[in-house]
Amino acid sequence: MGSRSSRGASRGSAETEKASGFEAMGLSHTMLTALAQAGYLEPTPIQAGLIPKAMEGVDVMGQAKTGTGKTAAFAIPILEGLEMQKRPPGPQAIVLVPTRELAVQVRDEFIKLAAGRKARIVAVYGGKPLRHQADQLRRGVDVVIGTPGRLLDHLGRRTLRLDSIGWAVLDEADRMLDIGFRPDIEKILRRLPASRQTMLFSATLPPPVVRLARRYMRDPLTLDYSPGDITVDTIDQYYFTVDPERKFDLLLRLLKREDPRQAIIFCRTRRGTEKLGQRLARRLSQVAAIHGDLLQRTRDRVMARFREGKIRYLVATDVVGRGIDVTRISHIINYDIPEFCDDYVHRVGRTGRMGAEGVAFTFVTPEEGNQLTRIEMRINRLLKRDEIPGFEAFTEPEAIREEPAPESKPVFGRRQRRYRRAL
Ligand code: ADP
Ligand code: MG
């Protein structure tokens, strides 16, 4: 770790300080103990800004780079506010997340921070039998975390009630909208008590998210911790120009050169992910693929093994890769350039967690020059060109021949020059 790692939660130095930021927030002794056990010595900037506001009961909309501790930012105020003496019949807090993996991850973070209190925390998500989750819900739950579709299933079967909800959280709101959860989210939000507090989180705040927030939140306070540069700046970001049929060989060479501790290799489609996973597994060990066509059981097992470090190369689709937090990830490889710019931000955000250093490589075929430019405009930063001799693309990227960029930023001129040099 270099000097840049002093950003965010400073790990080593905080031990010598007296009152930590968390202590100054008026948190309970139980919570401070749980935080210490979790190794959270200092709040991250979004935690420092958001927790006091959330504890006042204000609706908040938090935008921050990935890996900056948004989960604890909403989990801490909720856990501190739960009524534990006279518990209402239904859950007191509901958290909506876009994917099954995130449901599990958010639940685990809640459980970690709930150390020392008897909060009942349940995750519900598709791919697991409804029955078992229904039993868990019936036995009593204080915080329910789930994907919108599955939460609606439980509502429909009346195994979940929402009349005692005091907090609603929309995590990764932009992603939930992207993958078509909007009608489901609105159905759930409409059924929540009006008196609830709502918190919305997103690494990016595109207009549809803001509209949703306006409609279902009360004068939300926006806390924006992603000024300008929305990707984590401890991540070095490179691209390669490569012909499509040479991508696989380039990947092998790159992995050999980089020798990653752990890497996620992103592909655009489920089929492509499966195929690349199989192909890679014939050449390297500790390879697995994860995508939406796999059984939930398999997905859970792959994620667990990845977290344990037993899988070194994880080939994944965007949906599954989103929000994954594994601190050992040193490399992100965009084998297929992401279709949407925001996906780039999220993919790359899987590394460089909590100030650790990471590196991201994006493979760009000659037809994809424009997409790369769009990404660079979105993150307001140029990717550096990398090269492995013998793997340069031989055809000219189309971006050069096409019309100028919508808003002609200087970045585009430099892009063109760099492409020319590459050819
Ligand atoms: P985000 O939702 O913003 O992408 P996460 O909530 O997944 O980020 O947190 C990223 C990582 O940082 C997790 O491993 C979490 O345990 C850790 N973390 C969160 N808050 C702190 C803190 N205050 N100090 C140290 N680590 C933290
Ligand atoms: Mg998150």
> How many angstroms separate the Cα of 189 from the Cα of each of 129, 169, 254?
24, 10, 46
Q: Identify the three-state secondary structure at position 195.
A: coil
Kindly give, in sequence order, each residue whose CB lies less than 8 Å from that of residue 189, ignoring residues fewer than 6 positions away: 168, 198, 216
State the distance from the centre of ligand 2 to the C-alpha of 187, rounded, in angstroms: 23
Q: Does residue 200 sit in the same domain as residue 291?
A: no
- From first CA to last CA, the distance across the chain in angstroms is 35
pLDDT at 91: 97
Q: Is residue 187 part of a domain?
A: yes
Atom of ligand 1 lying closest to residue 109 CA: 16
Q: Is the pLDDT of residue 423 over 60?
A: no
Q: Pick from 186, 187, 230: which is nearest to 205 by CA?
A: 230
Q: Which ligand 1 atom sits closest to the C-alpha of 41? A: 24
Q: Is residue 408 part of a domain?
A: no
Q: Provide the pLDDT for residue 409.
A: 37
C-alpha 273 to ligand 2 mean position (Å): 23
Quick check: 173 and 200 in contact, CB under 8 A? yes
Backbone phi, psi, residue 368, to 5°:
-105, 15
Tokens encoding 256: 């050999």
**Ligand 1 atom, smallest distance to 44 CA:** 23
**What pLDDT does residue 411 have?**
37
Tally of CA atoms within 13 A in the half-sphere of 154 that contains its CB: 31
Within this chain, do residues 206 and 59 fall inside the same structural domain, yes or no?
Answer: yes
Q: How far is 164 from 159, CA to CA, in rounded Å?
A: 14
Cβ–Cβ < 8 Å for 200, 229: no
Q: Which ligand is nearest to the CA of 12?
A: 1
Domain shared by 90 and 208, yes or no = yes
327 located within any domain: yes
CA dist., res. 139 & res. 120, Å (int) = 9
pLDDT the model gives residue 418: 40
Is 144 within a domain?
yes
Give residue 392's pLDDT band: very low, low, confident or very high (50, 70, 90): confident
Which of 170, 191, 224 terminates a domain? The answer is: 224
Residue 34 pLDDT exceeds 80? yes
Asked which of 200, 224, 248 is the last residue of a domain, the reply is: 224
Q: How far is the CA of 354 from the centre of ligand 1 (A)?
A: 7
196 plus 85 within the same structural domain: yes
From the CA of 71, how far away is ligand 1's center (Å)? 7
183 found inside a domain: yes
* pTM as predicted: 0.61
CA–CA distances in Å: residue 112 to residues 47, 85, 105, 139, 397: 16, 21, 11, 21, 49
Distance 9 CA to ligand 1 centre (A): 9
Distance 44 CA to ligand 1 centre (A): 8
DSSP assigned state of 328:
T
Identify whether the C-beta of residue 94 lies closer than 8 Å to the C-beta of residue 169: yes
Neighbours of 229 (CB within 10 A): 11
DSSP 351: S
Exposure of 13 by Cβ count < 10 A (0-12 exposed, 13-18 middle, 19+ buried)?
Answer: exposed
Q: Which atom of ligand 1 lies closest to the CA of 325? A: 7
Cβ contact 91:160 at 8 Å: yes
Residue 5 is predicted with a pLDDT of 35
In this structure, which ligand is nearest to the CA of 68?
A: 1
Is residue 420 one of the residues assigned to a domain?
Answer: no
Amino acid at 294: L
- Both 56 and 109 in one domain: the answer is yes
* DSSP assignment letter at 285: S
> Per-residue pLDDT tens for 163-177?
999 999 999 998 888
Of 281 and 397, the one with more pLDDT: 281
Domain count across the chain = 2
- Tell how far the Cα of 172 is from the centroid of ligand 2, in angstroms: 7
Is the domain of 216 the same as that of 353?
Answer: no
Domain interval for residue 15: 2-224
How far apart (Å, rounded) are the C-alpha atoms in residues 380 and 352?
Answer: 18
Residues 186 and 264 in one domain: no
Whether 375 and 281 share a structural domain: yes
Please indicate, yes or no, whether residues 101 and 194 belong to a single structural domain of this protein: yes
Residue nearest atom 25 of ligand 1, based on CA coordinates? 40
Q: Assess whether 213 and 356 both reside in one domain.
A: no
Strands (E), 12-120: 60-64, 93-96
- Residue 289 reports pLDDT greater than 90: yes
Which parts of 262-405 are beta strand (E)? 263-266, 287-290, 313-316, 331-334, 358-364, 384-385
Cβ count near 221 (within 10 Å): 15
pLDDT at 150 over 80: yes
Q: Does any domain span residue 390?
A: no
- Are both 356 and 317 inside the same structural domain? yes
What is the number of the ligand 1 atom nearest to the C-alpha of 22?
23
Q: Is the pLDDT of residue 51 over 90?
A: yes
pLDDT of residue 354: 58
Tell me the CATH number at 255. 3.40.50.300
Instruction: Give the binding-site residues of ligand 1, using a 6 Å CB cut-off.
Output: 9, 40, 42-44, 47, 64, 66-72, 325, 327, 353-354
Site to substitute for ligand 1 among 111, 112, 325, 347, most atoms within 8 A of C-beta: 325
In ligand 1, the atom with minimum distance to the C-alpha of 38 is: 16
Best of 7, 10, 44, 107 for a ligand 1 pocket test (most atoms within 8 Å of beta carbon): 44
- Measuring from atom 20 of ligand 1, which residue has the nearest CA? 69
pLDDT of residue 226: 66
Ligand nearest to the CA of 62: 1
Question: Tokens 């994954």 map to which residue?
Answer: 324
Give the residue carrying structure tokens 């807090």: 93
Q: Which of 391, 376, 382 is nearest to 422 (CA)?
A: 391
- Tell whether 314 is covered by a domain: yes
Same domain, 241 and 312: yes
| Per-residue pLDDT tens digits for 175-210 | 888 788 999 999 999 999 999 999 999 877 788 888
Quickly state the pLDDT bin for 11 (edges 50, 70, 90).
Answer: very low
User: Final residue of a domain: which of 177, 197, 224?
Assistant: 224
